[in-house]
Amino acid sequence: MTSAPTSSPPPVPTAGSFRTLLVPLDGSAVAPVVFMTAVQMARVLDAQVYLLRVLTIDPGFPPAAHVTPDGLEPKLVADAHGELKQWMASVADVAFGPALVVLGDPWRQIIDVARTVDVDLIVIGNHRYHGADRILGTVASKVVNHADRDVLVVHRRNGIAQGT
């Protein structure tokens, strides 16, 4: 009697598997939950965290608002850097990479930054949109569907944060 070939199960991720985390924060009500989830993971995994803010300029702003030196974009970028640095300063025992602020389409920028920085995991929040957003896709769902690395989606249910 012949025995069936044995195959090894795929390797189980170890604590060292996720050494770098990308955490896009958008200023929404779920952002603190996403941040704290990533911080807790970074502590357990001894991982470095990169905070990211993707800025979009409403097309309703006049083109003159985009002109430097008095343009809107430099002000928004500086404010976003300041906010991310405040998040970072609120936690003493986690290694953070530089605060990252980019302009553009949020889901595309998150994926591009994840590749550029070469992070192991993207930790992103889900806003649970309905209607047209549900059909067209949220930023989180587009990141999940297009990322070439692991993505953890942090959910909220009935106003209570999940994953904490």
Query: Any idea how long the chain is?
Result: 164
User: Chain-centre distance of CA 29, in angstroms?
Assistant: 15
CA distance 143 to 122: 9
**19 domain residue, yes or no:** no
**51 domain residue, yes or no:** yes
Least trusted range by pLDDT, from 4-13, 19-28, 123-132: 4-13
**Residue 153 pLDDT > 50:** yes
pLDDT-derived band at 152, boundaries 50, 70, 90: very high
CA distance 81 to 61: 22
CATH number for the domain harbouring residue 82: 3.40.50.620
**156 domain residue, yes or no:** yes
**Residue 16 pLDDT > 70:** no
Where is pLDDT greater, at 95 or 7? 95
**122 domain residue, yes or no:** yes
The contacts of residue 15 (CB under 8 Å, 6+ apart) are 44, 45, 46
CA distance 106 to 112: 10
- Amino acid letter, residue 162: Q
Residue 110 and residue 143 in contact, taking contact as beta carbons nearer than 8 Å: yes
**47 domain residue, yes or no:** yes
Provide the whole-model pTM: 0.79
How many domains does the chain contain in total? Answer: 1
Give the side-chain half-sphere CA count within 13 A for 12. Answer: 1
**16 domain residue, yes or no:** no
pLDDT-derived band at 161, boundaries 50, 70, 90: very low
Mean pLDDT, range 145-160, rounded to an integer:
81
Instruction: Print the domain residue range for 37.
Output: 24-161
**10 domain residue, yes or no:** no
**123 domain residue, yes or no:** yes
Token digits for 17?
Answer: 């598997």
Give the per-residue pLDDT at 55: 93
